[in-house]
Amino acid sequence: MLTYLAYGLAIVLDLFVVFIGARFLLVPRAAAAGYGVPAKQDGDPAYLTIKGLRDGTFGLVGLALLAFVGAQAEAWFMLVVAIAPIGDMLIVLRHGGSRAIAFGVHLATAVVVLVSAALLFAV
């Protein structure tokens, strides 16, 4: 049962990050608003594309590790990748974004990613 939970949560998280990346590539301004720091109309859209590419890549690497290497590699990946939502939380707070999004989305995501890492280490 623990194995199914560990793998299932990791797959859901990886797919969710791929979705977030795709959203930043396809509807960048809406995605930026959901991130917690709305994009300026006259801003450089390249940064939104970078975010989309980064997130999409993280999700695909996670799926590849899980499929081709196994739970231990995915656990280490999740442990390291938890830095990204913590950084995102700090970025939102530093740039006057919503505290609810900073903590309710980004910090909560980091916690869930760390729980996923712990479950993967346990299998």
- Please say whether the beta carbons of 19 and 31 come within 8 A: no
Q: Is the dihedral of CA 20, 13, 91, 93 positive or negative?
A: positive
Summarised one tens digit per residue, pLDDT across range 54-106 is 999 999 999 999 999 999 999 999 999 999 999 999 999 999 999 999 999 99
C-alpha–C-alpha distance, residues 105 and 99, integer Å: 9
Question: What confidence score (pLDDT) does residue 40 get?
Answer: 86
Domain coordinates in residue numbering, the chain:
2-122
What's the pTM? Answer: 0.92
Nearest-angstrom CA–CA distance, 2 and 25: 35
Handedness of CA 64, 33, 26, 44 (dihedral sign): negative
